[in-house]
Structure formats: C-alpha cells, structure tokens
Amino acid sequence: MEIRIPELALVVLVGASGSGKSTFARTHFKPTEVLSSDYCRGLVSDDENDQSATKDAFEVLHFIASKRLRAGKLTVVDATNVQAEARKPLIALARQHHCLPVALVLDMPERLCRERNAARADRAFGEHVIRNQASQLRKSIRGLEREGFRHVHVFRSPEELEGLTIRREPLWNDKKAEKGPFDIIGDIHGCLTETLELLALLGYDVSLRDGHYAVSHPQGRKVVFVGDLVDRGPDSPGVVRLVSDVVRSGTGYCVAGNHDVKLSRALRGRDVKISHGLAESLEQLKGESEEFRRFTAEFLDQLVSHYVFDDGKLVVAHAGLREEMHGRGSGAVRQFALYGETTGETDEYGLPVRYNWAADYRGKAMVVYGHTPVPEAEWLNNTICLDTGCVFGGKLTALRYPERELVSVPARKMYYELIRPLRPAVPAILTAQQAHEELLDLEDVFGKRIVDTRLYRSITIREENAAAALEVMSRFAANPKWLIYLPPTMSPSETSARPGLLEHPEEALGYYAKNGVQAVVCEEKHMGSRAVVVICRDEDAARTRFGVAGEGRGIVYTRTGRRFFANDALQSELLDRIGRALDAAQFWERFDTSWFCLDCEVMPWSVKAEDLLRVQYAPTGTAARTALAAASELLRNAAARNLDVEDIAKSFAERSELVQRYVTAYRHYCWPVNSVADIKVAPFHLLATEGRTYFDQTHRWHMETLGDLARHDPECLVATPVRIVDVADANAVQGLFAWWEALTGSGGEGIVVKPMDFIPRGPRGLLQPAIKSRGPEYLRIIYGPEYSRPELLERLRERGLSTKRSMALREFALGVEGLERFVQREPLRRVRECVFGVLAMESEPVDPRL
Amino acid sequence: MLLTISTTTQPATDLGFLLHKNPARVHRFEQSFGRATVFYPEATAERCTVCLLVDVDPVGLVRRRSGPAGEDGQLAQYVNDRPYVASSFLSVALSDVFGTAMAGRSKDRPELAATAIPLEVSIPVLPSRGGEMLIRELFEPLGYAVRAERLPLDEAFPGWGESRYFSVTLSGTLRLQQLLNHLYVLIPVLDDEKHYWVGDDEVEKLLRRGADWLPTHPAKEQIARRYLKHRKSLARAALERLTPSEAEADDARVAGKPAAREDALEAPLRLNEQRIAKVVEVVLEVGAQSVLDLGCGEGKLLRELLRQRQLERIVGVDVSLRALEIAEERLELDRLAPAIRNKLTLLHGSLMYRDRRLQGFDAATLIEVVEHLDAPRLRAFERVVFENARPATVILTTPNAEYNAKFSSLPAGQFRHPDHRFEWTRAEFERWAGDVATRFGYEVRFTPVGEVDAVLGPPTQMAIFRVR
C-alpha cells in the first residue's frame, strides 16, 4: 500500500502505548525527523519513563518542532497523542509555520499492545492504562479532520503496515524546477484586447482556432499571470479562455486572485455580494454556454494561490507574500496571497487601508504581485506590484524575468471608475524605495552580521563592533543616503631592514613580486585626508538617484562617513569647481551618468586635522622645542663648570635637531584655508557612475582618466605623479627607489604601490589592494619626533602587520560589495550593511600607526 | 622634562647638603619609565641651582604601557607631550631622587632644612588646564611670587592660538621640604592627568604630602579632585579626612570631568535636579505607567523614575554602550529587589533608526537630547519618535539659547556643550515643536525649567506633546 503526505508536514503519530509507533517512525522517517516524547523525557530527566517530567519533555519537543518547521523540515511527533488536548498544540504549531498537519493513526488491537508492553521491562504500568488510551483513541478518530488534520490515515492491524510506503509529494505551489524565463503580467480584469497587445509586444505568437488560443514564444518564454483575470472589464470570459488555454498548454501559469475566487463561488451558487465589477462578469458569462460557465468555475477554483519558481528565487502571488509563507501551504497563506493584510483602518474613501507588507520584506526571493492599483510599477525591497490599473484607464504591465524589465501597454479606455484616484494629488518626489529608506530599521544594522561579498567570502561583523558603528553612524555620520562607499584601511610595507629606515618601497614591490604580480602602479602618496566625493550633475540628479533633497548636488565625506567640511558653503563651492572640471572634460557624456563617486585625498592635511594638530602635534612640538632648548642651555652651563655632562649634552643637541625636523615635517602639510582656492583635491580612483563600477579597470586607467580630468582645473585638481614599474626590471626598480628618495627627501609622505589590476589575485587568493611606503621624515608624525634615534628605531622595527592586512582585505571586499550593490540598485539597507561593516571593522583595536 | 631649583641663601651651595646631592658631581638614577639626572648648572656661594632632568622613554611609554590611556587616549600615542613637560612622571622622580629632602631631613644641615630660605623654581614647560589663573590660584596662597609665560602652539601658525604650556618661575621664602611637596602635588594637579591608575593609596599620598598646607588651601577641593583623577568617592574620602566639617560639600561640585562644561555652567543653578524633578512630575501627572527614557545617558533620570510606584515599566535607551554600562553600575541594579529591578530595561539603540522595541509606551522622555543631533537628521529622529514609537506623551527638554547670555564664563556664540549641534531660542524651539506636533497628530504645550529671567526666559525649555 502507498500513502501520500505533503513534503513539508507535521506528522502526528497517534496510537496507544505498545502500538508500534517508534518502530513505524524508524521504518519510514529519518532519525532526525522523529521527535519522541520518551526521548525528550530522557533529555530532561535521565529517565524516559519519568511521568513527572512529561510537561518539560513536551516543552522541549514543541520547541524543537517549531525550529524544524520554521526551517521547512518535515517533522514527526512520536507520542501517544490519543487525547485532543495533546494534539491541539501540535495543530497550532503546524498552522503557525504554515505547514500541513498529518495524522497517522495506529489503531492496533489492544491485546497486541498489552503483549508488547509486557515484553518490555521499563513499561510496568497497569493494563488499564492501555485500555484507556485505546478508548480515547477510538473516540478521537472521527474528529481528527475537524480538529484540523488535512490528511488522516488509520492503520488497524500490523498486516496493513506491511509493505507500506509513504510518498512525499511536493506542494502544488512548488515550481522550483521551472526556471523561465518568464513574462509576468499584472491584473487584467477582463481587458482582453490589452492582454493580447501586451503578449504581442512581448514577442508571443498568439492564434485563435476553434475557440481555443495557441500561445507560444520563439525563445520558449513562459507567461505568469498574477491573478484577477476577471470582473469590471469588457471581456472576462475571453480572458478566462485565453489564460486557461495558456495554462493547459503548459506555456504559462496563473495564480488565483480574490476576484477569480469570488466569481468562481458565485458561479457555483454560493451566496456572495454582487459588487466590485462581479455583475459585469456574470452578465458577460450569460452569453456563454452552460458548459463554459462550469468550466470557468472549475478553472478559477483550482488556481493555486502562489507559485515558487526558479529554485526559490521568484515568488508570484496575487497580493504578495511574506517570506515565511513562501512555498508553504495553509489557510493563512492562501488568505494572505489572495487578500493581503489590512491595518484595520479605512481611508478617506472608506476603503480598507492595506498594510504595506513589502516595506518589512527582507527575503532573498523576488516577489511579484498585483492586487493594489498603483500608477507605476515600482521596486520595493525586491518586490514589485504589477497592477497598473489597466481596467481603470491605466496600463497593463508585464515584468520580464530575470531581466527585471518592465513592458506595458496603455489601456484603450477607462472601463471602470476607481473610487480612489490612481494618481496621487501631489506627485511623489522620491521613488517608493527611496521613500521607504527615509528611515531605516535598526534590525537591518544591529547585532552580529554576516555579509556575503562577491570578492572575498562572507565577512562576519562582530556584535560589539556593529554597536560601535551604530554609535558613530548615529552621532557623527552624514546623511546615510550619501554613504555608498567607505575606503578600506591600507597596510604599510613590511618593515625595512635598511639602516635608519622603517619603510622602503623594496618590501612593497617584494610583496607583489612574490605573489605573481608583474606590473605595479606607484603613486605619490599625498599627505592630506582621505575623502570620498559624491557629485551629481545637479540637485535634481541628487534627488532622483540618491533620494537626498535640499542638501545640494553632492557631498565630500571622510573615511568614517563624516562630512569633510563643517562649512557647507565651502563644500558646495568645491563641488561646483569639481563639477565644472567634469563639464569641461565632458565626463558626464563620456560616462553617460548623472553622478560620480571619486576616491580622493584632500589637502591640506590641516583643513581636516586642525583639531589633531592643535591638541596633539603642535603642542608636542612646542613643548619639545622649549624643553630641549632649556635643557641644552643648562647642560652648557654645567659643562662650563667642568661637570661630566658631555654625553648628555650631545644627545640633547641631537634631540633638539630631531624635534625641529618633526615640526618641519608637519608644517609641510599645513597651510591656512581661507577659501576654496586654498584646497587641493587629488582624485585617484573613479569608483562608480550610474549603473557601473570601475573595479574592472586597471590602476593605469584610473590614473590616466583622472589625470585627464585634473588637466581641466590644475589649480584645484591634482594629477597624481605616478610610475608604472615592472617588478622584474632592475633598472626600473632602482629608478623607483631614487624617485621615492627624492619625494620623501623633499617633504613628501611617500608612495602607494598598487598592483596593475584593481582587484588583484595571487596564488592564495585576494591580494592587498595597495601598500604604502612612507618616508622617514613623515614617520616622525606617526612614531614620534625622535623615533629615528637608533635605540628607539630598533625597537620599533617589531610590528605585526597580519591583523592590519586581514582587515584591509575585508574592508576592501566590503567597500566593493557596497558599491556594486548600489549601482545595481539594491535596497539601501544592503548597501548600508557594507558601509556599516567597514566602520565596524575600524573599531577593532589595531595599531593605529600602521 | 625638567625643573630647576635655585637658592640665594648663604652659602648657596648648602643646597647640595639639603638635597643630599653633591654639586660637584652629576647624579644619574634609573627610573621605571626612563632616566633621571641631577646636576648643578651653577653652584657659587651666592647662588646655587640644581636641575632635575627626566628622560621618559617614548617607545616604552606606548609599548610597555600599563597605566590609563589618558584624556583622548593621548598616552597611547607616540606623538605626545609626556617626554617634554612637567607631569606626574616628574612628581615620581622628585620623590624618588629627593625623598630625604621631601621628608624634611638633612644629615649635615638639619637646622637649615627646618629654616625658610629664599627659593626659586623654574619649570620651562608646565602644562596647565586652567591657564595662568589656576597656576596663580594654586601657588600664590602658598606664598609664592608667580611669573608665567604662555607658549604659542606654533609661531608659524598664529591662527592655531596658544598652548596650555607655561614657562613658570615661582619664588618664595620657605623650607625646601615644603617646596618639594607643593611641587609634588600641584604639578599633576595643573596637568590634570596621571600616568598611572589612581587607587586608594593615592589618598594617603595626598594626605601625607599635603598635611601641613592643604587643609587651609582655598582651592583644596579642586586640588583633591584633580589629584585623585576626578574619582568622586576618593575625592570625598580625602576631603573628609582633611577637613571633616566641610565634607558635606555639594556632590555637584565634586562631580564632572574637565570637559563637562555644561555641568560646570549649570551646576550652580541646580538645573539638572530641577529638570529631573519637573520631568518626573509630568510623567506622573499624565498617568503614565510605562516610560521610555530616550538618550538616558548614565541614568540620572532613570534613578528617579525607578522610585515612582506608579511606573511599571521603564526602559532606558542610549546610543553609547559606555553610557549604558555606567548607568548599570550607578543604578546598582543587582542590589535592588527583583520586583523593582525587573521594571527596568536598558537598551542600546539609536534615534536614527526605526526600532520596534520602542513601541507601546505611555510616555517618552528626551532630556537634553535633541541638541546633540545634526539638524539635517532631525527628520529621521522625528519619525522614529513621533511616528514609529508613538508614545501617548513625549516630554522633551533642550537648552534655551537666549539664557546663555547669563553665563559669564561662556563666550558669546558658543554652545553649552562641545557636542551640541545647535541651541534653540524659545521661538525656534516652539516653531519646531509646533510643526512636529501638527505633522504627527500631537498637541504641544511649553513650560519653563529653572529660574525664569524676565527677558531671557528660563535656562531650560520643555515641550510636552500629547497624542491627539
């Protein structure tokens, strides 16, 4: 014998003690699928028969069952379950997780149960127990379906169990193997003409022969209808004919809409209220044959309420579907798919206010739906409503999947009047996604997170780091809509072995050579502050693309997401200046974009670091110079008295010299900023423009492209001096070293060595995207004025780079990920997750001097 | 870092006997943090000068650090002023190198040690948080003539202003022992920083070094507070033992970090107490049983709310985890009965994000919070509070900018707290609050907190929003 149960079910075994439930479960299910009450009793009390542990044991059992069902795993409950009050919580559990409850009843002869129990040493309870259980069981059998079990199978003898097979069937909504490509069509409501037009526009061949449609697509595409085929419009019977032919021929699918269900009920003589255009359908069907009416009723009645396609990546349901309901089957799922949810309130037109489930949606599957007429189909959190109100004079819209393209045809006329106007009185200035993202949800950024990156691997953000990022973001960051990218930290080269030096380009080149990189791009490292510039063509572009209104055409922000300039006027002057260079270089046209995201260094250092200079660098300088000068003078006096202070005096004279060099070093990077003319910007990465990033371009390209831009305003924009070096060419390498010495000797910070490819890979995976080699004078600002004293320098040579390098890779991967997501128009929270990640990483304790 | 001590007592070279350091030699001492050298740049019968030169190992300072990180973590930086300025390192070296003299003993010149003699101290780089005024307030009552010259931050960038360092000369007639003890205590007090953790034994040190002069010093509270690194309980213990009758000094005067300008300004008005009392009064008046304290900080309001029987559920929310940790500590939750303790929850959260946990409360308090938010992000904040959390009552306080004119120590145009992003006048506040109320369906009324100035209004303004 074979019985069938749904693939995802809560299977409740019902049977007296000794009826063979555990053996049955072992035979037909995986050990991990079976939750036994005896076993749970043992878990909590060390004794499987300790009846006093029953309550706790069932709590454990229900808890595990609920975790399994949430994860979509079939679960079998092995307990006597002979009493209704034992089964009730299980049915509730199945409903809660939108799974079907199944009862398998082992109604075995009492004698058999008694014998089996007698044979077991641990089942020493009296015969009356089994008698009671058997009688409770028999009383239960008839009511099981009424209790809520969707499938009930009763077995009355051991013989019936012999040769039994249990077949698990996928749910009707499971079309995961069907991968499309699809054309998903919104609410039709009897608009046959527009539907045929749309199908033709989508490239389908449609013919009508003998009252039946034949529909096919040369590329084998399939149609999916989101339901509400009927009511209100001019030809509901025609639409049913078309759609049923498509479905029957296998070239398409249709989910049920609330109107379809209601019409079917009306046709089958149920008592339904004739409203919302049902009258038109019934009137039109009067002209059809009785047979067609019966067919229509049946066809509409058997429509499934939602489908899951393409390995779970696409879900179609008439009114949408929450993530936990995807692929599940229960009354609640059908209810939701047909009607959605309302808030319980009514609007000014007396219509129920629909709860916007899509705003809360965070699932990976794309959800395509209809039901609520909207002026334009708009994406929100990877969901889209295709009901563009054709019957109300709007248009009929289709979504091409997986292309995500919208195709629509306008309605020939307004067939039916909408109570609430389709277009809002005030046109929205932001898209649905942007409006939704005006306010983000704490749950989207809080706590431990794992971010999947395309470049590296999944990156774990620890909870305490996420908390630190939240604090920084909330208290100091610029409007988060601007923050689409944060640059990664950069590791220095390995410590140099050369005397008197901590860093030298040799080690940076060595790193890349060792990892198989041939050509490196060596860029002068400007000593300013890292800044990301987001600049739009105008304020309008800022609003449409970034959803930021009233904050100008762009922003300059720091590597921790703060506004670079406290002074708004200065920022907007600088942006305009960069904007004019972009105009002159015809970059808007060349890159076909309304915005740019540039990675830059902004100088002077003092413009951003003035606080640091005032509380740390300058005080140390003035204190050191004064103290060392005073000490030197006292030591001279002591020497004049013939005291033996020669060694100390000499050391202090040297130290005075070092401190003076330290002051010279930091002064080099400071100049007063009175206007935008005093600011210099050195862009070195063209990160992204509309629709694309430039991580696939070499650093040579980035340097050339941005050098091109800089030519159009050399006063403000700095073309970074650069050398491209073949690491195997000894002459070129020596030339680079000489260049580095000249740069750092004249006050330069040093150089950054980058592999030719923006995203470099070596034999062991992703390589450092860049390595800096800083000059000895500059390092006084990092390691202290006197660090070059030999006794100090030797101790400073010990520095661990591994944490810094691992962090640089993870931040690089997160930065790239965030920007890729942004250009692909993913929801802001998905972009924010990456930006938050970089910020969180930065709260890790790492030697800040590296 | 260095200092010199000179005397013109006759013969001046007796200074060597007082310090137990022969002027004819150079004396070197190893210290845990570096090296100290004592030598005499001048030693004549007329005038004798000793120099204590301390070398702090700058790499060891960072790498072998076991003490606190210092204000803004500056002690953890290689670039820092410690090797060059007079600080607690110098105090440690003083007591180590001149310990006998500090105890008032001299083997060869015991009478001289017990005699007041003309002494002059010169410190080329002395940091003072409190400027020249504080140097004078600390040393002049002890009988010194003070000369102080402030060092510029960098003469090449006059716009950066002046440093907190002074080249200082102190002269007076007193015992060498007294002078050394004054310096030992007052150098770190001026610097307001210590390179080691301050524990209970620090109270003993203060009492020993200050026994014969601190109890009568007019700035004794400030000295005790700064010397003990603003640890309130330690400072109180020290004061109690110095002058038992004055120990009841107002908590508010002992509290607070140097950066807490707002506290210092408002403390004399007892404004915080008044604000909290007023908020509690309104919470009770509107009949709230559940309260959300948004931006609860270190929990001053939560403490009062916990005392109200009417309240059944109290939730404190702050964006700073550190503040929440302090709140948890200060409220001494583990000492409360479970029934009381369970009323309170502390949540880490942000007013920039929609947060389900904030829904379903009778009242929310926002005490001195809104002015810490960037103006462009107020819209998100308004939606989080008034649209999403949507408590029946919102009580919000913020400084009244007009009243700032009454704070003589606050330069015009500056805010009461460095983190304030704005401070509103009464008209600005009422406009904002009125607009919020209209947009989100609340009604709002305003009430003053603190003594109302006839022209400038109250120091703090409060808005009470009730949902319509």
Convert the pLDDT of each residue in B313-326 to its tens digit.
999 999 988 888 88
DSSP 8-state symbol, A616: I
Mean pLDDT of chain A: 91
**Residue A438 resides in a domain:** no
How far off is chain B from A747, nearest CA to CA, in Å? Answer: 17
Which of A343, A471, A656 has the highest number of chain B CBs within 10 A, making it the mutation to test binding with B?
A471
Count the domains in chain A: 6
Which of A32-41, A123-132, A251-260, A819-828 shows the lowest per-residue confidence on average (mean pLDDT)? Answer: A123-132
Task: State the pLDDT at residue B247.
Answer: 38
Q: Which residue of A has its CA nearest to B352?
A: A474
What's the mean pLDDT in A699-722?
Answer: 96
Which of B28, B40, B59, B420 has the highest number of chain A CBs within 10 A, making it the mutation to test binding with A?
B59
Nearest CA to A400 among A245, A221, A257, A217? A221
pLDDT reading at B77 higher than 90: no
Mean pLDDT of chain B: 88
**Contacts of B375-378 spanning 24+ positions with Cβ under 8 A:** B375/B421, B375/B422, B376/A479, B376/A551, B377/A479, B377/B352, B378/B432
What percent of chain B is predicted at pLDDT more than 90?
A: 64
Which of A360, A362, A474, A836 has the highest number of chain B CBs within 10 A, making it the mutation to test binding with B?
A474
Which of B49, B164, B294, B353 has the highest number of chain A CBs within 10 A, making it the mutation to test binding with A?
B353
Looking at per-residue pLDDT, the higher value among A344 and A712 belongs to: A712
Residues A143 and A216 in one domain: no
Residues A813 and A835 in one domain: yes
What percent of chain B is predicted at pLDDT more than 70?
A: 91
Task: State the pLDDT at residue B251.
Answer: 33
Task: State the pLDDT at residue B47.
Answer: 96
- Asked if A616's CB is within 8 angstroms of B74's CB, the reply is yes
- Beta strand segments in A113-232, E: 151-155, 165-169, 174-175, 182-185, 205-209, 212-216, 222-225
Q: Which residue of A has its CA nearest to B370?
A: A475
pLDDT reading at B253 higher than 50: no
Chain B residues in contact with A381 (beta carbon < 8 A)? none
* pTM of structure: 0.79
CB pairs under 8 A between A and B: 176
Convert the pLDDT of each residue in A188-202 to its tens digit.
999 999 999 999 999
Which of A306-320, A442-456, A671-685, A767-781 shows the lowest per-residue confidence on average (mean pLDDT)? Answer: A442-456
pLDDT band at residue B211 under the 50/70/90 scheme: confident
Q: Which residue of A has its CA nearest to B83?
A: A624
Task: State the pLDDT at residue A124.
Answer: 67
Task: State the pLDDT at residue B243.
Answer: 60
CA angle B50, B56, B57 (to 5 degrees): 145
Residue A792: which of B58, B164, B351 has the nearest Cβ? B58
B2-197: CATH, from 3.40.50.2000, 3.30.1610.20, 1.10.3720.10, 3.40.50.620: 3.30.1610.20
- Asked if A439's CB is within 8 angstroms of B384's CB, the reply is yes
- Residue B39's SS3 state is strand
Domain topology for B263-467: Rossmann fold (3.40.50)
Phi, psi of B94, rounded to the nearest 5 degrees: -55, -50
Specify the residue for token string 């950069």.
Answer: A490
CB A785 within 8 A of CB A729: no
Looking at per-residue pLDDT, the higher value among A117 and A168 belongs to: A168
pLDDT reading at A43 higher than 80: yes
Residues A816 and A781 in one domain: no
The Cα–Cα gap between A210 and B326 comes to 82
pLDDT band at residue A35 under the 50/70/90 scheme: very high
Residue B80: which of A468, A480, A620 has the nearest Cβ? A620
pLDDT reading at B71 higher than 80: no
Final residue of a structural domain among A152, A169, A186: A169
Residues A582 and A683 in one domain: yes
CA-CA-CA-CA dihedral for B422, B425, B428, B431, to nearest 10: 130
Nearest CA to A727 among A755, A703, A752? A755
Which tokens belong to A130? 């089994």
Chain A residues in contact with B72 (beta carbon < 8 A)? 615
pLDDT reading at B249 higher than 60: no
The Cα–Cα gap between B53 and B5 comes to 12
Residues A158 and A219 in one domain: no
- Asked if B319's CB is within 8 angstroms of A614's CB, the reply is no
Chain A residues in contact with B165 (beta carbon < 8 A)? 619, 622-623, 626
**Residue A110 resides in a domain:** yes
**Residue A674 resides in a domain:** no
pLDDT band at residue A611 under the 50/70/90 scheme: confident
Task: State the pLDDT at residue A462.
Answer: 87
pLDDT reading at A526 higher than 70: yes
Chain B residues in contact with A630 (beta carbon < 8 A)? 2, 124-125
Task: State the pLDDT at residue A845.
Answer: 60
pLDDT reading at B238 higher than 80: no
Residues A104 and A6 in one domain: yes
Residue A627: which of B4, B84, B384 has the nearest Cβ? B84
- Asked if A475's CB is within 8 angstroms of B319's CB, the reply is yes
CB A685 within 8 A of CB A599: yes
Residues A703 and A571 in one domain: yes
The parent domain of residue A132 ranges over 2-169
Task: State the pLDDT at residue B68.
Answer: 61
Residue B124: which of A468, A630, A783 has the nearest Cβ? A630
Q: What is the CATH number of the domain that holds A8?
A: 3.40.50.300
Looking at per-residue pLDDT, the higher value among A351 and B388 belongs to: B388
Chain B residues in contact with A672 (beta carbon < 8 A)? 157, 159
What's the mean pLDDT in A678-705?
Answer: 96
Which tokens belong to A444? 């989207």
Residues A19 and A81 in one domain: yes
Task: State the pLDDT at residue B320.
Answer: 86
- Asked if A618's CB is within 8 angstroms of B163's CB, the reply is yes
What's the mean pLDDT in A612-623?
Answer: 91
Residue A643: which of B26, B160, B380 has the nearest Cβ? B26
Chain A residues in contact with B81 (beta carbon < 8 A)? 619-620, 623-624
Domain assignments of chain B as residue spans, ordered by start: 2-197, 263-467
**Beta A405-410 vs A395-401: how paired, if at all?**
antiparallel
> Other CB atoms closer than 10 Å to residue A739's CB: what's the count?
18
pLDDT band at residue A621 under the 50/70/90 scheme: very high
CA-CA-CA-CA dihedral for B358, B364, B368, B370, to nearest 10: 60
Instruction: Count the alpha carbons within 13 Å of B211 in the hemisphere toward its beta carbon.
Output: 7
Task: State the pLDDT at residue A421.
Answer: 75
**Residue A512 resides in a domain:** yes
- Asked if B167's CB is within 8 angstroms of A440's CB, the reply is no
Cis before A848 (ω within 30): no
Residue A631: which of B2, B165, B377 has the nearest Cβ? B2
pLDDT reading at B72 higher than 60: no
Chain B residues in contact with A442 (beta carbon < 8 A)? 349-350, 353-357
Residues A230 and A282 in one domain: yes
How far off is chain B from A834, nearest CA to CA, in Å? Answer: 17
Domains B2-197 and B263-467 share a fold: no
What's the mean pLDDT in A284-293?
Answer: 94
Residues A309 and A396 in one domain: yes
What is the separation of C-alpha A712 from the centre of its chain, rounded to a whole number of angstroms?
39
pLDDT band at residue A426 under the 50/70/90 scheme: low
What's the mean pLDDT in A438-455?
Answer: 86
> Other CB atoms closer than 10 Å to residue A523's CB: what's the count?
23
Which tokens belong to B305? 């709310």
Residues A614 and A745 in one domain: no
C-alpha distances (whole Å) from A770 to each of A77, A157, A511, A605, A767 are 58, 75, 10, 21, 9
Specify the residue for token string 């509290």.
Answer: B255
| Greatest extent of chain A over all pairs of C-alpha atoms, in Å | 128
Residues A229 and A303 in one domain: yes
Cis before B41 (ω within 30): no
**Residue A672 resides in a domain:** no
Which of A430, A437, A441, A442 has the highest number of chain B CBs within 10 A, making it the mutation to test binding with B?
A442
Q: Which residue of B has its CA nearest to A829?
A: B353
Convert the pLDDT of each residue in B79-89 to its tens digit.
889 899 999 99
Residue B153: which of A445, A619, A787 has the nearest Cβ? A619
Chain B residues in contact with A440 (beta carbon < 8 A)? 352-354
